[in-house]
A and B are shown apart, each in its own frame.
Chain A
Amino acid sequence: DGGITQSPKYLFRKEGQNVTLSCEQNLNHDAMYWYRQDPGQGLRLIYYSQIVNDFQKGDIAEGYSVSREKKESFPLTVTSAQKNPTAFYLCASRTGTGFTGANVLTFGAGSRLTVL
């Protein structure tokens, strides 16, 4: 079945450590996204990528980094510069870049990061 796989599901990090969250999709989607979800705040966009080797900052990119070396993969690194990294992280994708239709997203199951 096609879908988005995020790993790990749960991750614990000590302060000062970088961690990388994995996101892999087999939907043949062009665009991929990383969102952060905190209680009562909805989804906030961290980074997005519309094609391989290109990505754009979202609303809250500070303290995060990404890469898009393959169409299927869009890993997110939470660096030590992120002051409050404890959150639920969601990866999403959608088909097409530059079309004019609804930008419906498909989401992974999420990764919960806790800083100890």
Chain B
Amino acid sequence: QKEVEQDPGPLSVPEGAIVSLNCTYSNSAFQYFMWYRQYSRKGPELLMYTYSSGNKEDGRFTAQVDKSSKYISLFIRDSQPSDSATYLCAMSRGGNYQLIWGAGTKLIIKP
């Protein structure tokens, strides 16, 4: 069993919809939870990171962590075609511990 599970999709939704992307994990020692966005043939770029449990909001994006369920989510409101990309979750204990990555979910926003 992988330490981090993420549905690879693709997930296809119409423009303007609310998108929910999720990851589950098994290691309760993880403290930092990140979401990266990767456009085709490009390197990943950090969208948001969250420490421990709770919510964090940045514009149309909300990251949510539920440590009791070992489940993290990224919500995208008012989705745009430019949001079409692969979204990777990553998590770690922090410091010099390595990041553990999900497989990435391919998101397609249809105009």
Among A48, A98, A110, contact of B95 (Cβ-Cβ < 8 Å): A98
Question: Is A90 touching B43 in the complex (CB atoms < 8 A)?
Answer: yes
Minimum C-beta distance from A84 to chain B (A): 18
Question: Is A112 touching B41 in the complex (CB atoms < 8 A)?
Answer: yes
From A12-20, A36-44, A73-81, give the one contacting chain B: A36-44
Q: Is A107 an interface residue (CB 8 A)?
A: yes
B interface footprint on A87-116 (CB within 8 Å = 1, 0 otherwise)? 010101000011111111111111010000
Q: Is A25 an interface residue (CB 8 A)?
A: no
Q: Is B69 an interface residue (CB 8 A)?
A: no
Question: Is B42 touching A110 in the complex (CB atoms < 8 A)?
Answer: yes
**Interface residue total, chain B, C-beta cutoff 8 A:** 26
Minimum C-beta distance from B100 to chain A (A): 9
Minimum C-beta distance from B72 to chain A (A): 14
Question: Is A42 touching B101 in the complex (CB atoms < 8 A)?
Answer: yes
Q: Is B75 an interface residue (CB 8 A)?
A: no
Q: Is B62 an interface residue (CB 8 A)?
A: no
Most B-side CB within 10 Å, residue of A58, A100, A104: A104
Question: What residues of chain A lie closer than 8 Å to B6, measured between beta carbons?
Answer: 42
Question: Is A100 touching B43 in the complex (CB atoms < 8 A)?
Answer: no
Question: What residues of chain B lie closer than 8 Å to A109, measured between beta carbons?
Answer: 42-43
Closest to A3 in B: B43
A-B contact pairs, 22 of them (CB 8 A): A40-B8, A40-B104, A42-B6, A42-B88, A42-B103, A43-B88, A43-B99, A58-B98, A88-B41, A92-B43, A100-B95, A102-B49, A103-B32, A103-B92, A103-B96, A103-B97, A104-B49, A106-B46, A107-B43, A107-B45, A108-B43, A110-B42
Interface of A toward B, CB cutoff 8 Å? 4, 6, 40-45, 48, 50, 58, 88, 90, 92, 97-110, 112
